[in-house]
Structure formats: structure tokens, C-alpha cells
Amino acid sequence: MPREHDNIPPPPPPPPPEKSGSGDSSKSSQIPVKIEQYDTEFNPEEQFVQDSYIAASSIHSDGHLNESDTRLKLINPALFRRGWTLDHIKTEQPTLGVTTNVNGIPVKRRGRTDYLLQLIIKKDTQPIPIALIEAKSESKSPGLGLEQAKRDGDRLNVNFVYSTNGHQFIEYDKTSGLTTKPLPMTEFPTHDELRKKYEKYTGINLEDENAKALLIKYNSIGQKPRYYQDAAIRSILEKIAQGKNRALLSLATGAGKTFIAVNLLKRLDNAGQLKKALFLCDRDELRTQAKTAFLSLFNENAAAVEDKKPQKNAKVIIATYQSLGLANEGDDSSFFLENYPENYFSHIIIDECHRSAWGKWSLALKRNDKAVQIGLTATPRKLFENKTEETKKDNEITANNIKYFGEPVYNYDMLQAIEDGYLAVCEIQKREVDIDKNPISIEEVLKHNPINAITGKPITTIEELQKYYDNLDYENKLMLPNRIAKMCKDLFDSLKAKGTPEQKTIIFCVRDIHSELVTTEMNNLYAKWCEEHDKEKCKHFAFQCTSKSKGSELIPDMKDSKSDYFIASTVDLLSTGVDIPPVRNIVFFRYIKSPISFHQMVGRGTRLAENKLMFTIYDYTDATRLFGDDLITRPPRTSSGGGDGGGGDGPVIVQIEGIDVVVTEQGRFLVTEEDGEIKRVSVDEYKHGLAEKLLNEISSFDEFRKKWINPASRRQILNELLSSGYSPEIIRKAEELTDFDLYDVLINIAYDKKMLNREERIINFKNNQKTWLDTLLPETKDVILAIVNQFAYQGTDSIESNQLLNVYDVVKAGGINSLAKGGDATQILDETKLRLFAA
């Protein structure tokens, strides 16, 4: 319930800043602090005060309030009158991802949600996000922001979304699917009314014991959850509160599924609802990673099953299928059966639940049918049917997941994570191998004197060769040394072209012997390169990382070393789960038919790392076609290894020397989304689509420039581009334009204007606007120059930061008082920005 003082009318809004130089300058000058190049905890009251500054003199030419003023003067008071206080309202979302400053150093950036309303049931309980409000200026239709609010509502897992112009509002109830007609703000739901609606439609009584974990705060130790991690955890806790014990989460690889599992179980434990939990995965590396994560919150109450030690004293047990004897049908499961009787576990989390295709490990679920069972997966939500055997298997796995767990209670895919800045941008360098597109005939193979690679004996007849011939099975049954050499040389040259071949890279090969040959070839190329450049070689440039080579023992070295273990040649050992953030390149030397396997392999490169905002897929086998129509990740937006036939143990049968091979470039591609489907498009197509979308909305450069300097209209521009599947941030990173503001990226693509980097734009302003600057009072001019200089840090974001007036250089130049001496402070700032962004 709200606290007693929540219904006390709030104090009146703070006055706008003075428009003259009168008064005590020591009081008007704000604390001199530099804009920090990292994010700070958001303070709603600070934002409320900041809005009053933004709103000063912010009347549209038609006499209506703009969006900022509408928020301040209409929406805020209306919410306060309905009992919503600053404790209930978050007016900006937590930190989103990273961008780069002028020096290329990763820094955090913010996303923006107008209002997120939260239920506060009791003092010191975890607030429950329940509603989202999208604000529009008072001259706009009250429902104009509803579609944006629906999209954000899905991301935030809230039940009610609203759009308002400050006079009227429209409500969309996600649970019932109903949308209201425009209603006056005097009828906006109160805290208690929304709580009753939430409880009615979800069937959750927030006073019940089942709902207790929903109200438990996150542990203060460690990092705070990202918005989607909180949304995913709440979606599970709501299912539990409803009395249900099965749920599926679908989140992109690298989005932190283990973090979600740890914090979910900790909240359940703090609520007294956790007795014994099992976290089940299918690789030793995943078990090690999970153990570290669980120990951070559970300490000695978390333990891993190794060497037949059941760890029955631990509250959370981390195990692999193999350590429990549940990996394969022929495994001895007596260890599991003898140590963990039926319904021993109160909670079970299956990590990467698609991996083993509902094999013997399902025994863990069947013997604990009363437990809360949660599946974690990074696979697509739905696969289209087609006739390939691999996709049929993928469809079967997906169908089994949906049948058992139900539809995912929360989805967060790779593209959304890239948009948010939590995962690296994906660039594709596509290649074509001539004999793959136009395969050599079996007669041509015979002319090149094929031999049995094991015995060395020649193969002399077409009949004998026929059983091995498959043009898409190179390096499996047909070994072509020239093909391997040419592909490795092309890859090595591509890495050199980006500065150095010493880049963390994973190459997916066909089988162990192929991996071995690729490793040898890459090491030879590296040795020659070091000799040519008089460079000391690292000890381990390329290494084989397969189950047979015990390559998993070298994974920590690849992850941690900055000067060694650069190229991992693997089959499927690195295809899933293993967290190696520094990996910058994913290479496909093998044909992939399974969308599930493909997405797991791609996921090895998506994680952010120091100075890494993008990763590259080098595609030699058209694997990235699986970014196409074969899968759907989520419902369409309105105006947003193993098991693949690889890694066999059988010998390579036929080796063929002397086949001429040519590798050609096929262009650069990016990954985007259209109508809920992931697409692979060329960089040029991506730019063209982005330009077309922007020009359809804003036809002239001057109009775009005017909209860009207004925070609300700029946010709308970017949101509409993202909703259409286009992110200027992706272009900026893919084209290595991190020294340029998004403004310059967009005007170059859409309006064919010359790009200026941030430093150049500042110099351009000082030179071209000298006449205008000289018409201003000296103290006003000094403040403007101090403000413009801040553009060097984070571009547009810097000159509209709510800390701008606190920057030391700005305060030193005279701050808001000196700015206002020249006239209306807001108009002067707007004029400054228009001139800064002149072509």
C-alpha cells in the first residue's frame, strides 16, 4: 500500500532560471563538476527540476506547449493529483549499453522512457513496474504515442501502457487486449486502482505467500539487473505467484541468462521459498562459469557436482548432464537416482534447454515433477518448416520446449540487445569459394589422382569414388588441401587489413582433422608474417580447440591473454555457452544447416569487451543465409554446433591435390529486422533503407536540423528508425565512425551532407559563426563556447546532459546567469545548436 504521506499534495514546481544577470551569482552558479564519462543512478526529482529548466520559454510557434513543457505543466501535476509521487515514478530508464566518446573509450548511455509507474506495496519492498506512459505535446492526439508505449511495455514487462497529451489519455491493457477511448487526466488510475486491476487480471494477490518473492529486493551485492533482466525475473516470479511451475525464457546469447538464474533463485531463497535447487547445463565450461556466478551470492550454499560428489549439503547444486549420468541414453544414471530421490529439488533451471533435444536428461524433470522448472534458451521463438533434416530436428526441439514449458514468458533477442547497446554490432564479410558454387565434377576429381588419405592408395574408378563424392562435404569425405590453404590465406589477409592478424577469432571447421589442418595453415601464415615484419612471435597464435585435442583446457588462456592464443580452430566445442568476450571474429569454414547451431555459434562473438563494440562474421559457406526467412524471433513490431553433422570421428577418406581454388569477396552485410524477422542485408541496402525511411518522414535537411535540436522530436526520429529495423548506431560502428555524432551519420546518409567529426564540427562552428558570436555580450559568448566545447565528449548527448550547467568549464565561464544576460537562455541555446549543426 502507498505510504500515508503519499496523498499529501506535492510542492509547486521550482521556478525557471532567472533571465537576467541580477542576483547573487554564487547562488545561481551550480557545483563545478565535469560531465562524468560514466552513468550515475537516476534521480527522478533531479529530472523533475531539470525539466523546469528545459521548459522555460518553450512554447511552440502555434501557442501550444512542447513535450517537455507538457510533461512539466500538465502531466506531472495530473499524476500527483491522482496520488502518484516521485517514489512511484521513474521518469527515465536505467542505463542502456555503451557508446564511445571522442577517444574511442566505451562509456555508458541512457535510454529514455517518459514515465514508468511502479507499485509499492510496503516500505522497503521491491517496486513492481506496472505501467508505462508515453508523453506527447499538448497539440498532439492523446493516442499518438500508444504504439511506442506498447513496444516499450513489452520490453519492460508491464501490463498497462498509456499515451497522453496532458489533457487526455488512452489506456491499453495488455492482459485483456482492450484499448480505451480518450479519457480526461482527472480519471487517470490511482496506485490502488492499478494494483486492483493488476491483481484481477493476473490472478495474483500480492499479499499471498506465493507472491512474496515478487516483493523481495535484489541483493545489494554485485551489479544491478538490466531492465530486461529484471523483466525476465519478474515474469518468472509472476508465474510462480500464479501457482504455475513451468516457464521458458528466450534471451540472446550474451544477455546474461546465468545472471538471471542466480538472482532469481536468490530472491526465492530470501523469500523462504527455495529448498534445494538444481542448475543443469551440458558443458564443463558452463558449469565452471555458473559456479563462479552462484558463489557470488550463495557463498558456501552453492556447489558443483564433480568427481561423483553429490554436494547434498548445498542449497544450489550446479551440474552437467554428464556428471549426473544423464547425457546419453546409454549412460549409467545410478549416481543421480541414488543421491537425489524423487522431488528432491524444489527448483530446477535447465540452461540451454534446446541442446540435448529432450534426451535422457529429461529424467531430472520427470523425477521432480513438483518442482518449479525453468528452461533457458537462446533459440528462435519459432522455426519455419522446411525439408532439411537438420531443420526438422530444430523444429522438434522447439516444439518440445513449447509443449513442455509453454510459450516463452519473456523474449529478448540479439537485435534488441544490439539496439540497446548490450551486445556488439554484427558485421558480415561474405566470401565465395568458386568450386563450392560451381562444384568440380566427379570425373574432374578422378583426373587429379585422388588417394585414400589413410592408406595412401590411389582411387582409380568412378564407382569407387562415387560413395565419397559430395560437393558440399568438402573436408569431411573429400579433403582439398588447396581449398584449405586459399581460405586460410584470405582470412589471414582480411585480419591483416584490419591492422593485425592478432585478433581473437573462432574458426568453425568440419571435423577434427580439418581443424588440425586449419590450425597448421594459420600458424604457418603467422610465422611468415612475423618474419617479414621482424616481429617476435607469440607462443600460441592458432590452436586446435576440439574435444579430442582437449582444447577446452586452453579456453581460459584465450579469454584472459592479450598477447597469446588468438585463433581457436574448433568443430563444435565452442559453439555454445562458453563466454569469451574478447572474440572479435567468427569464421565459418563449414556448412551449417541448423539455425539453432548457427545462432549459438554466432553468439560467441556478441559479447562486449574492452574497446570492442562490433564483431565480424567471415562467411565462406553462406552460413549467414540463416539470418533469413528460416526463423522468427518474436511477433512483428509495429511502427522494432553439434547436431549439425560436424565433428565426426570417422577418417577423411579421399584427398585430392592440385585443384585450383579461387576465393572472392561478396561484400559487407549487416543484420537487421523486418516484421519480426531477422534479415541479412548489404551495408548499401541498409543505408538506402535508412535514408528512405528518414526522408519519408522528414523531407528536407533544414527541417531535420530543427527537429534534431529538440530532445523530444530527436528521440522520436531515432525511435521510428529503430522500429523500422534501422539503427544509425549500427552504421556508426560498422563504418568505424565513432568520432562522429549520430547527427553527422544521418545527414550524410539521408541528405548527402558532408560528415564532420566532433572536433571538426566545433572548429567549423567557431570559424563560421564568428560574426554571430561577436554580436553577443562577451560573457554570453564565453558560456556558449564552453558549452559547444562539450560536444567533443559525447556529441549531442553532451550538450543536452542534465549536468551541462554543472560542468566546470561552463560554470567558470559564467554559467546560466551569463548565458541569460544575452536574452532568453533557451532561445540562445537553440540558436547555438542550430548553428552548430549547420551544414
Q: What is the pLDDT of residue 384?
A: 46
- Asked if residue 449 belongs to a domain, the reply is no
Structural domain ending residue among the three candidates 202, 233, 255: 202
Q: Are residues 663 and 531 in the same domain?
A: yes
More confident residue, 525 or 554: 525
- Asked if residue 431 belongs to a domain, the reply is yes
Helices 778-789 and 758-768 cross at an angle (nearest 10°) of 160
pLDDT digits (tens, 9 = 90+) for 785-812: 999 999 998 899 888 877 788 888 999 9
Confidence band for 63, pLDDT divided at 50, 70 and 90 = low
Q: What is the pLDDT of residue 187?
A: 97
The kind and range of the H/E element at 229 are: helix 227-241
- Asked if residue 195 belongs to a domain, the reply is yes
Q: How far is CA 137 from CA 181, 496, 610, 638, in A?
A: 18, 52, 40, 22
Helices 146-156 and 227-241 cross at an angle (nearest 10°) of 70
Give the least confident one: 34-48, 128-142, 506-520: 34-48
Mean pLDDT, the chain, rounded, equals 83
Q: What is the pLDDT of residue 97?
A: 52
The kind and range of the H/E element at 89 are: strand 89-90
Q: Are residues 352 and 240 in the same domain?
A: yes
d(CA 526, CA 709): 50
Return the C-alpha cell found at 138.
499538448
Confidence band for 647, pLDDT divided at 50, 70 and 90 = very low
Q: What is the pLDDT of residue 418?
A: 83
Q: Are residues 391 and 297 in the same domain?
A: yes
- Provide the percentage of residues in the chain whose pLDDT is more than 90: 51
- Asked if residue 13 belongs to a domain, the reply is no
Q: Are residues 543 and 657 in the same domain?
A: yes
More confident residue, 136 or 17: 136
Contact indicator for 475, 483 with CB cutoff of 8 Å: yes
Q: Are residues 173 and 237 in the same domain?
A: no
Q: Are residues 485 and 529 in the same domain?
A: yes
Instruction: Give every CB contact of residue 68 below 8 A, 6+ residues apart in sequence.
Output: 51, 54, 55, 58, 711, 712
Which range has highest mean pLDDT (227-236, 464-473, 578-587, 713-722)?
227-236
Structural domain ending residue among the three candidates 629, 644, 675: 675
Q: What are phi and psi of 172, to 5 degrees?
A: -115, 125
Q: What is the pLDDT of residue 31?
A: 28
Q: What is the pLDDT of residue 594?
A: 81
pLDDT digits (tens, 9 = 90+) for 754-767: 999 999 999 999 99
- Asked if residue 358 belongs to a domain, the reply is yes
Q: Are residues 114 and 237 in the same domain?
A: no
CATH assignment of the domain containing 120: 3.90.1570.30
- Asked if residue 208 belongs to a domain, the reply is no
CATH assignment of the domain containing 652: 3.40.50.300
Q: How far is CA 835 from CA 28, 264, 713, 780, 838, in A?
A: 27, 51, 18, 16, 5
- Asked if residue 33 belongs to a domain, the reply is no
The tally of domains found in the chain comes to 5
Q: Are residues 711 and 600 in the same domain?
A: no
Q: Are residues 227 and 350 in the same domain?
A: yes
Q: What is the pLDDT of residue 368?
A: 95
Structural domain ending residue among the three candidates 675, 692, 711: 675
Confidence band for 62, pLDDT divided at 50, 70 and 90 = low
pLDDT digits (tens, 9 = 90+) for 697-719: 999 999 999 999 988 788 889 88
d(CA 604, CA 289): 15
d(CA 88, CA 86): 5
Q: Give the DSSP letter of residue 605.
A: G
pLDDT digits (tens, 9 = 90+) for 398-425: 667 778 888 899 999 888 888 788 888 8
Give the least confident one: 41-45, 171-175, 370-374, 827-831: 41-45
Which sign does the torsion angle of CA 188, 153, 279, 300 carry?
negative
Q: Give the DSSP letter of residue 577.
A: S
Q: What is the pLDDT of residue 221?
A: 77
Q: At residue 93, does pLDDT exceed 60? A: no
Helices 742-751 and 683-697 cross at an angle (nearest 10°) of 90
More confident residue, 323 or 284: 323
The whole domain housing 334 covers 219-412
Q: Are residues 767 and 812 in the same domain?
A: yes
Q: Are residues 369 and 313 in the same domain?
A: yes
d(CA 435, CA 496): 25
Q: How far is CA 117 from CA 11, 123, 134, 189, 358, in A?
A: 20, 16, 11, 11, 41
- Asked if residue 391 belongs to a domain, the reply is yes
User: Which residue has 543465409 as its cell numbers?
Assistant: 625
Segment 715-735 mean pLDDT: 85
Q: What is the pLDDT of residue 264?
A: 97
Q: What is the pLDDT of residue 112?
A: 57
Q: Are residues 167 and 223 in the same domain?
A: no
User: Which residue has 539487473 as its cell numbers?
Assistant: 225
